[in-house]
Chain A
Amino acid sequence: MQRYIANRLLTMIVSLLGVTIIVFLLIRLIPGTIVEQMMGTEALTSYETVESLRRYFGLDQPVYVQYYQWITRVLVGDLGHSWRTAIPVLQFILSRLPVTVELAAIAIIVALLIGVPAGIVSAIKHNSPVDSLARIIALTGLSIPLFWQGTMFILVLSLAFRWAPAMEWVSPLKDLGANLSMMLLPGFCLGTASAAVIMRMTRSCMLEVLRQEYIRTARAKGLAERVVLIAHALKNAMIPVVTVAGLQMGYLLGGTVVVEEVFSLPGIGRLLLWAIYQRDYPSVQGTVLFVAVMFMAVNLFVDVLYAFLDPRIRYA
């Protein structure tokens, strides 16, 4: 197990190095640098001013020199300063992180609360109208565009209750009520697609487990159906579901960009979009790297948890 984790960490580092190189090159492929962004299109600026600014940001250096200078600092934990706001990039990210994490957390709770019971019912009533209905609802849930669902929520609530997305984010530590009143809806919105995924996974795992012989034995022993389902079947069926729920956590990090945009929440996703538009290279590179690390860490954690939950699995 330890060897497996060490191995995974090693591949993770290789992948992360790849991520840094790709991001570094891609962002520099976009026409226009921060200098052009700052100057605007109409400003009459001298060649000297542009050159001095380029020198100031290190843009006059060859790309590999720029990369080397950046990566050596990243390796000691320094993501640099945002070119636009002069705030240290790491601090910038950490200030936005709570919004994104809270959104993802609410979403995954919603997804589990809806997905698991629906999946169980669907599996128990296999091939019944209830099952078909649940499957169709789940597929529809997977098919609704996130941003449209958010827009429709806002539309309905604003017409019915005169509710509007809040303008400024409030920390849950400061005012939990105010925080939840603005976060629950976006979180719910983000969670529905994952609920569908978890429901489908729960259903197929339950069906798989219910076909096992030990379930037949449990029934033959005369155990109540409820005991068989909950104590015997569900316990084993939940193992893959936990994995999928963990992996969803990673995908929610992607969905959160759209939700943040629709509900105007100051999270990591909007920070990244903003940084790309501003050609704020250190912020783009830092945010992308940060998200990749988070995503990989979640994936690794899920895999380790999986082996822990299911003793049959031993990674070589």
Chain B
Amino acid sequence: MLKGPTYRSAPFLSRIARNRLVVVGLVMAVFLVLLAVFADVISPRDPLAVNVAAALHPPNLKELFGTDRFGRDLLSRVIHGSRVSLSVSFSSVAVALVAGTFLGLISGYFGGAWDIAISRVMDIFFSFPVLLLAIAIAAMLGPGIENAVMAIAIVYAPFFSRVARGPVLAEREKEYIQAARVIGASHERILLRHIFPNVLSPIIVQASVTIAYAILTEASLSYLGLGTQPPTPSWGTTLNEGRTYLQLAPWISIFPGIAIMLAVLAFNLVGDGLRDALDPRMR
């Protein structure tokens, strides 16, 4: 099996490019980010503008996705929803990544009591189904966007810790690390300059897959009324509001769901492709 730095460096990008599905995923993800950034410019209307006279309009040429019970334009709400969804999932994954990777590095590098303590605490989190844990934490912290971010971050941090710990254990024993130690390099320097780069690629793969899960989790929390609160146009919240009008105005329930699916699919495709490219065994 081919492995090592020579294999990774140059052909890596071309391997990603050759995998058509990853390219599709990347294009979708970039489109989504642009949608979120330029939501104000792209949206035909203000997502919060209420017009009761135009309530529950089915999709038509002027209102492509129809309107909700307050006459708010659904297309604009779905476009703005990408902003909520991406900011929640990106920030929660960022927190989970930093915290989890840090713990994983410490746990693997120092070993001993550190490792036991950190691993045991992570075990507590692994002893619970992810979604249920997120729901429980969010319910306990109270509804709201910041608490949803916290809940998602707490739930996914252990995954980063586990992904980071493995390579550290393998790398720690290698001769160049011992050499660095003999020269008198500090722990911080060894961890950041020598060990961290080895952890980077599995962490990146984990991050892209976790973003997909985070989008799903945020939507589920908001759907249950625990995440983003109305009138903020989150996809999950809109779906929750559409429940009552399922028979009368099914479009409220259809479009945000498709948006969630496409967003999650985009990051799943990217994550899958990255894993294939970085781990030759998975092809």
Residues of A within 8 A of B (CB): 11-12, 14-16, 18-19, 22-23, 26-27, 29-31, 132, 135-136, 139-140, 142-148, 151-152, 154-155, 158-159, 204, 207-208, 250-255, 257-258, 261, 269, 272-273, 276-277, 288, 291-292, 295-296
Contacts and interface: CB of A to CB of B under 8 A. Distances in A.
Contacts, number: 139
B136 A276 contact: yes
Nearest to A158: B247
Which of A26, A145, A296: most chain B Cβ within 10 A? A145
A143 B212 contact: yes
A145 B220 contact: yes
A82 B21 CA distance: 51
Across the A-B interface, give the 10 residue pairs with the lowest CB-CB distance, nearest first: A254-B129, A148-B257, A254-B131, A143-B264, A18-B124, A143-B265, A254-B132, A276-B139, A26-B140, A15-B123
Interface in B183-223: 212, 216, 219-220, 223
B55 interface: no
A139 B269 contact: yes
Nearest to A152: B257
Contacts of A16: 127
A208 B283 CA distance: 9
B111 interface: no
Q: For this complex, into which size category does the number of interface residues on chain B fall?
A: 35 or more
29 contacts: A12-B127, A26-B137, A31-B142, A142-B268, A143-B212, A143-B216, A143-B265, A145-B220, A145-B260, A145-B264, A148-B219, A148-B253, A148-B260, A148-B261, A151-B239, A151-B253, A155-B250, A159-B247, A208-B281, A253-B132, A254-B131, A254-B132, A258-B223, A258-B224, A272-B132, A272-B135, A276-B136, A277-B139, A295-B127
B136 A272 contact: yes
Interface of B: 21, 120-121, 123-124, 127-133, 135-137, 139-142, 212, 216, 219-220, 223-224, 239, 242-243, 246-247, 250, 253-254, 256-257, 260-262, 264-265, 268-269, 272, 281-283
A208 B281 CA distance: 8
A29 B151 CA distance: 14
B interface majority secondary structure: helix
Nearest to A139: B268
Contacts of A155: 246-247, 250, 253-254
A23 B128 CA distance: 12
A254 B126 CA distance: 12
A15 B130 contact: no
Nearest to B283: A207
A251 B246 contact: no
B128 A295 contact: yes
A138 to B, nearest CB: 10
Contacts of B212: 142-143
Contacts of A292: 127-128
A136 B282 CA distance: 16
B154 to A, nearest CB: 10
Contacts of B272: 139
Nearest to B220: A258
B261 A140 contact: yes
